[in-house]
Amino acid sequence: MPRIPAKRTLRLAGAALVVAAFAGCGTAMAADGKPVWTAAQPSTGPSAQPSIIASASTSARHLTTPSTTPTQASPATTKPATSKPATTKPARSKPAQPRLGGPANSAMKTGTAAVALTFDDGPDPVQTPKILDLLAKYHVKATFCVVGENVAAHPELVRRIAAAGHTLCNHTWQHSLTLGKQKPAEIRADLQRTNDAIRQAAPDAQVKYMRAPGGNFTPNFVKVAAELGMKSIYWQVDPRDWDHPAGESDAAHRAKVLAAVKKHVHKGSIVLSHDFGQPDTIAAYQTLLPWLKQRYQLIALP
Protein backbone atom coordinates (compact mmCIF):
# COMPACT_ATOMS: atom_id res chain seq x y z
CA MET A 1 0.00 0.00 0.00
CA PRO A 2 1.53 3.38 -0.94
CA ARG A 3 2.33 5.81 1.89
CA ILE A 4 0.09 8.89 2.16
CA PRO A 5 1.82 12.11 3.18
CA ALA A 6 0.87 13.56 6.57
CA LYS A 7 -0.48 16.86 5.11
CA ARG A 8 -2.77 14.97 2.77
CA THR A 9 -4.01 12.86 5.67
CA LEU A 10 -5.00 16.03 7.55
CA ARG A 11 -6.80 17.40 4.50
CA LEU A 12 -8.80 14.16 4.12
CA ALA A 13 -9.83 14.20 7.81
CA GLY A 14 -11.03 17.79 7.52
CA ALA A 15 -13.11 16.97 4.44
CA ALA A 16 -14.75 14.09 6.29
CA LEU A 17 -15.81 16.45 9.09
CA VAL A 18 -17.30 18.92 6.62
CA VAL A 19 -19.43 16.15 5.10
CA ALA A 20 -20.54 15.12 8.60
CA ALA A 21 -21.65 18.65 9.45
CA PHE A 22 -24.26 18.80 6.62
CA ALA A 23 -25.31 15.15 6.60
CA GLY A 24 -28.68 15.71 8.41
CA CYS A 25 -30.27 12.95 10.52
CA GLY A 26 -28.51 9.64 10.67
CA THR A 27 -24.99 8.47 11.34
CA ALA A 28 -22.03 9.96 9.43
CA MET A 29 -19.13 7.66 8.69
CA ALA A 30 -15.45 8.52 8.60
CA ALA A 31 -13.13 7.05 5.99
CA ASP A 32 -12.44 4.06 8.22
CA GLY A 33 -16.16 3.25 8.52
CA LYS A 34 -16.52 4.29 12.19
CA PRO A 35 -19.20 6.76 13.35
CA VAL A 36 -18.10 10.37 13.76
CA TRP A 37 -21.29 11.49 15.65
CA THR A 38 -24.75 10.24 16.44
CA ALA A 39 -28.06 12.01 16.12
CA ALA A 40 -28.92 14.06 19.22
CA GLN A 41 -31.83 13.03 21.45
CA PRO A 42 -34.61 15.49 22.33
CA SER A 43 -33.88 17.80 25.21
CA THR A 44 -35.23 16.50 28.48
CA GLY A 45 -35.04 19.72 30.40
CA PRO A 46 -34.43 23.44 30.20
CA SER A 47 -30.75 23.04 31.07
CA ALA A 48 -29.91 20.26 28.53
CA GLN A 49 -26.45 20.42 27.01
CA PRO A 50 -26.02 21.48 23.35
CA SER A 51 -26.28 18.52 20.97
CA ILE A 52 -23.30 16.79 19.44
CA ILE A 53 -24.66 17.80 16.04
CA ALA A 54 -24.23 21.45 16.88
CA SER A 55 -20.68 20.79 18.12
CA ALA A 56 -19.68 18.95 14.98
CA SER A 57 -21.21 21.66 12.79
CA THR A 58 -19.32 24.33 14.66
CA SER A 59 -16.06 22.38 14.36
CA ALA A 60 -16.56 22.03 10.61
CA ARG A 61 -17.17 25.74 10.21
CA HIS A 62 -14.02 26.46 12.16
CA LEU A 63 -12.03 24.11 9.96
CA THR A 64 -13.26 25.49 6.68
CA THR A 65 -13.63 29.20 7.50
CA PRO A 66 -11.42 29.99 10.47
CA SER A 67 -12.18 33.33 12.08
CA THR A 68 -9.28 35.72 12.75
CA THR A 69 -11.30 38.18 14.89
CA PRO A 70 -13.75 37.24 17.57
CA THR A 71 -17.36 38.25 16.86
CA GLN A 72 -19.17 40.05 19.63
CA ALA A 73 -22.72 39.07 20.41
CA SER A 74 -25.18 41.88 20.08
CA PRO A 75 -27.16 42.62 23.20
CA ALA A 76 -30.70 41.23 23.29
CA THR A 77 -33.34 43.73 22.30
CA THR A 78 -36.42 41.67 23.15
CA LYS A 79 -39.15 43.86 24.64
CA PRO A 80 -40.67 42.63 27.84
CA ALA A 81 -44.08 41.09 27.30
CA THR A 82 -46.93 43.20 28.49
CA SER A 83 -50.24 41.73 29.55
CA LYS A 84 -53.54 43.45 30.12
CA PRO A 85 -54.98 43.15 33.58
CA ALA A 86 -57.74 40.58 33.87
CA THR A 87 -61.18 42.10 33.71
CA THR A 88 -63.38 39.55 35.40
CA LYS A 89 -67.04 40.44 35.07
CA PRO A 90 -68.99 40.25 38.31
CA ALA A 91 -71.34 37.30 38.48
CA ARG A 92 -74.95 38.20 37.89
CA SER A 93 -77.15 37.64 40.88
CA LYS A 94 -80.88 37.10 40.87
CA PRO A 95 -82.88 40.09 42.04
CA ALA A 96 -83.75 39.85 45.70
CA GLN A 97 -87.27 38.71 46.49
CA PRO A 98 -89.35 41.42 48.19
CA ARG A 99 -90.00 40.72 51.84
CA LEU A 100 -93.75 40.31 52.24
CA GLY A 101 -93.79 39.79 56.01
CA GLY A 102 -95.70 36.54 56.40
CA PRO A 103 -94.48 33.00 57.15
CA ALA A 104 -92.26 31.61 54.35
CA ASN A 105 -92.52 35.07 52.76
CA SER A 106 -96.28 34.97 52.25
CA ALA A 107 -97.98 38.35 51.91
CA MET A 108 -99.40 40.12 54.97
CA LYS A 109 -100.51 43.30 53.20
CA THR A 110 -102.07 44.34 49.92
CA GLY A 111 -99.10 46.42 48.81
CA THR A 112 -101.28 49.52 48.44
CA ALA A 113 -103.31 51.73 50.76
CA ALA A 114 -106.40 49.61 50.10
CA VAL A 115 -107.71 47.06 52.62
CA ALA A 116 -108.64 43.52 51.56
CA LEU A 117 -111.34 41.55 53.36
CA THR A 118 -110.90 37.78 53.08
CA PHE A 119 -113.40 35.04 54.01
CA ASP A 120 -112.15 31.47 54.55
CA ASP A 121 -113.34 27.85 54.52
CA GLY A 122 -116.49 28.17 52.38
CA PRO A 123 -118.53 28.08 50.49
CA ASP A 124 -121.16 27.53 53.19
CA PRO A 125 -124.72 27.02 51.90
CA VAL A 126 -126.17 29.20 54.68
CA GLN A 127 -123.56 31.80 55.61
CA THR A 128 -121.92 32.47 52.24
CA PRO A 129 -125.11 33.80 50.58
CA LYS A 130 -125.59 36.12 53.58
CA ILE A 131 -122.14 37.69 53.34
CA LEU A 132 -122.51 37.99 49.56
CA ASP A 133 -125.76 39.90 50.06
CA LEU A 134 -124.12 42.18 52.62
CA LEU A 135 -121.13 42.91 50.38
CA ALA A 136 -123.45 43.70 47.49
CA LYS A 137 -125.46 46.09 49.69
CA TYR A 138 -122.33 48.19 50.40
CA HIS A 139 -120.78 47.70 46.95
CA VAL A 140 -117.70 46.04 48.41
CA LYS A 141 -115.56 43.39 46.75
CA ALA A 142 -113.75 40.73 48.80
CA THR A 143 -111.64 37.59 48.48
CA PHE A 144 -113.00 34.11 49.21
CA CYS A 145 -110.50 31.39 50.16
CA VAL A 146 -112.46 28.26 49.34
CA VAL A 147 -111.94 24.62 50.34
CA GLY A 148 -112.02 22.12 47.48
CA GLU A 149 -114.50 19.70 49.06
CA ASN A 150 -116.94 22.55 49.70
CA VAL A 151 -116.48 23.81 46.17
CA ALA A 152 -117.39 20.38 44.81
CA ALA A 153 -120.44 20.29 47.09
CA HIS A 154 -121.65 23.82 46.25
CA PRO A 155 -120.43 24.82 42.79
CA GLU A 156 -123.35 27.24 42.33
CA LEU A 157 -121.98 29.40 45.15
CA VAL A 158 -118.55 29.49 43.54
CA ARG A 159 -120.19 30.68 40.32
CA ARG A 160 -122.03 33.36 42.28
CA ILE A 161 -118.82 34.54 43.98
CA ALA A 162 -117.05 34.82 40.63
CA ALA A 163 -120.00 36.46 38.87
CA ALA A 164 -120.19 39.16 41.56
CA GLY A 165 -116.58 40.17 40.85
CA HIS A 166 -115.02 38.76 43.99
CA THR A 167 -111.63 37.04 43.96
CA LEU A 168 -111.25 33.28 44.46
CA CYS A 169 -108.36 31.87 46.49
CA ASN A 170 -107.25 28.23 46.82
CA HIS A 171 -107.54 27.06 50.46
CA THR A 172 -106.59 23.41 49.73
CA TRP A 173 -108.83 20.41 49.23
CA GLN A 174 -109.56 19.31 52.83
CA HIS A 175 -108.15 22.17 54.92
CA SER A 176 -105.25 20.01 56.13
CA LEU A 177 -103.18 21.91 58.69
CA THR A 178 -100.10 19.81 57.87
CA LEU A 179 -100.17 19.85 54.06
CA GLY A 180 -97.17 22.18 53.92
CA LYS A 181 -95.02 19.49 55.54
CA GLN A 182 -95.74 16.97 52.80
CA LYS A 183 -93.60 16.34 49.73
CA PRO A 184 -93.88 18.92 46.94
CA ALA A 185 -95.65 16.40 44.68
CA GLU A 186 -98.38 15.89 47.29
CA ILE A 187 -98.79 19.62 47.82
CA ARG A 188 -99.05 20.14 44.08
CA ALA A 189 -101.65 17.39 43.65
CA ASP A 190 -103.82 18.88 46.42
CA LEU A 191 -103.66 22.44 45.12
CA GLN A 192 -104.22 21.33 41.53
CA ARG A 193 -107.26 19.26 42.53
CA THR A 194 -108.75 22.30 44.26
CA ASN A 195 -108.06 24.56 41.28
CA ASP A 196 -109.67 22.04 38.96
CA ALA A 197 -112.81 21.99 41.10
CA ILE A 198 -112.99 25.79 41.13
CA ARG A 199 -112.60 25.99 37.36
CA GLN A 200 -115.13 23.27 36.81
CA ALA A 201 -117.64 25.29 38.83
CA ALA A 202 -116.66 28.63 37.25
CA PRO A 203 -114.71 27.97 34.02
CA ASP A 204 -113.72 31.61 33.52
CA ALA A 205 -112.57 32.16 37.11
CA GLN A 206 -108.94 33.00 37.78
CA VAL A 207 -107.27 31.52 40.85
CA LYS A 208 -104.24 33.71 41.56
CA TYR A 209 -103.96 33.24 45.34
CA MET A 210 -103.40 30.46 47.86
CA ARG A 211 -103.80 30.51 51.62
CA ALA A 212 -102.42 27.72 53.79
CA PRO A 213 -104.90 26.35 56.35
CA GLY A 214 -104.11 27.84 59.74
CA GLY A 215 -101.52 30.05 58.08
CA ASN A 216 -99.13 27.09 58.17
CA PHE A 217 -96.99 28.14 55.23
CA THR A 218 -93.71 26.40 54.46
CA PRO A 219 -91.12 27.25 51.78
CA ASN A 220 -92.25 24.23 49.72
CA PHE A 221 -95.90 25.26 50.07
CA VAL A 222 -95.17 28.78 48.81
CA LYS A 223 -92.87 27.50 46.05
CA VAL A 224 -95.37 24.98 44.67
CA ALA A 225 -98.17 27.55 44.78
CA ALA A 226 -96.00 29.98 42.82
CA GLU A 227 -95.26 27.29 40.23
CA LEU A 228 -99.02 26.94 39.79
CA GLY A 229 -99.36 30.69 39.30
CA MET A 230 -100.60 31.56 42.80
CA LYS A 231 -99.35 34.11 45.28
CA SER A 232 -99.43 33.03 48.93
CA ILE A 233 -101.45 35.33 51.20
CA TYR A 234 -101.30 35.51 54.97
CA TRP A 235 -102.99 38.32 56.93
CA GLN A 236 -102.25 41.29 59.14
CA VAL A 237 -105.52 41.38 61.10
CA ASP A 238 -107.01 38.27 62.74
CA PRO A 239 -110.07 39.05 64.92
CA ARG A 240 -110.26 35.35 65.87
CA ASP A 241 -113.83 35.10 64.68
CA TRP A 242 -113.23 31.34 64.45
CA ASP A 243 -112.51 31.12 68.20
CA HIS A 244 -115.86 30.97 70.03
CA PRO A 245 -115.09 29.45 73.45
CA ALA A 246 -117.75 27.83 75.57
CA GLY A 247 -119.50 30.34 77.79
CA GLU A 248 -118.91 33.31 75.46
CA SER A 249 -122.23 34.80 74.39
CA ASP A 250 -122.98 35.64 70.78
CA ALA A 251 -123.08 39.32 71.66
CA ALA A 252 -119.70 39.12 73.41
CA HIS A 253 -118.23 37.29 70.43
CA ARG A 254 -119.47 39.91 67.98
CA ALA A 255 -118.12 42.70 70.20
CA LYS A 256 -114.71 40.96 70.29
CA VAL A 257 -114.58 40.73 66.48
CA LEU A 258 -115.59 44.37 66.05
CA ALA A 259 -113.06 45.65 68.58
CA ALA A 260 -110.19 43.63 67.13
CA VAL A 261 -110.73 44.78 63.54
CA LYS A 262 -111.21 48.44 64.50
CA LYS A 263 -108.07 48.39 66.64
CA HIS A 264 -105.68 46.65 64.28
CA VAL A 265 -106.75 47.52 60.74
CA HIS A 266 -104.54 49.98 58.87
CA LYS A 267 -104.00 51.04 55.30
CA GLY A 268 -102.87 48.05 53.29
CA SER A 269 -104.12 45.44 55.77
CA ILE A 270 -105.35 41.99 54.78
CA VAL A 271 -108.15 41.07 57.20
CA LEU A 272 -108.89 37.42 58.01
CA SER A 273 -112.49 36.31 58.60
CA HIS A 274 -114.59 33.18 58.05
CA ASP A 275 -117.92 32.62 56.37
CA PHE A 276 -118.11 28.86 56.94
CA GLY A 277 -120.12 28.07 60.06
CA GLN A 278 -119.71 31.54 61.57
CA PRO A 279 -123.08 33.34 61.79
CA ASP A 280 -121.73 35.83 64.33
CA THR A 281 -119.08 36.94 61.82
CA ILE A 282 -121.81 37.85 59.34
CA ALA A 283 -123.64 39.74 62.08
CA ALA A 284 -120.47 41.60 63.06
CA TYR A 285 -119.89 42.69 59.46
CA GLN A 286 -123.29 44.37 59.38
CA THR A 287 -121.62 46.99 61.59
CA LEU A 288 -118.08 46.64 60.31
CA LEU A 289 -118.71 47.14 56.61
CA PRO A 290 -120.08 50.69 56.78
CA TRP A 291 -117.43 51.63 59.38
CA LEU A 292 -114.59 50.29 57.19
CA LYS A 293 -115.95 51.80 53.99
CA GLN A 294 -115.99 55.27 55.53
CA ARG A 295 -112.27 55.02 56.37
CA TYR A 296 -110.63 52.78 53.77
CA GLN A 297 -110.78 51.71 50.18
CA LEU A 298 -111.95 48.08 50.29
CA ILE A 299 -110.82 45.78 47.48
CA ALA A 300 -110.80 42.23 46.26
CA LEU A 301 -107.19 41.13 45.80
CA PRO A 302 -106.42 41.79 42.13
The CB-side HSE value for 73 (13 A sphere, CA atoms) comes to 3
Distance between CA 269 and CA 298 in Å, rounded? 10
- Average predicted confidence (pLDDT) for the chain: 79
Q: pLDDT for 55-76, tens place per residue?
A: 333 333 333 333 434 344 444 4
In the predicted structure, residue 184 carries a pLDDT above the cut 90? yes
Higher-pLDDT residue of 49, 99: 99
Tell me how crowded residue 205 is: count the other CB atoms within 10 A of its CB.
Answer: 19
- Residue of 120, 124, 190, 275 marked active site: 120
Q: Is pLDDT of 29 > 70?
A: no
3-state secondary structure 138-190: CCCCCEEEECHHHHHHCHHHHHHHHHCCCEEEECCCCCCCCHHHCCHHHHHHH
Lowest mean pLDDT among 25-39, 118-132, 221-235, 288-302: 25-39
Per-residue pLDDT reduced to its tens digit, 100-125: 899 999 999 999 999 999 999 999 99
Distance from C-alpha of 286 to C-alpha of 290, rounded to nearest angstrom: 8
**pLDDT classification of 90: cutoffs 50, 70, 90:** low
User: Does the 103-299 domain belong in CATH 3.30.70.20?
Assistant: no
Residue 171 annotated in active site: no
Residue 274 designated active-site: yes
Catalytic residue among 154, 274, 275, 280: 274
Q: Where are the domains of the chain?
A: 8-35, 103-299
**In which band, very low, low, confident or very high, does the pLDDT at 99 lie, cut at 50, 70 and 90?**
confident
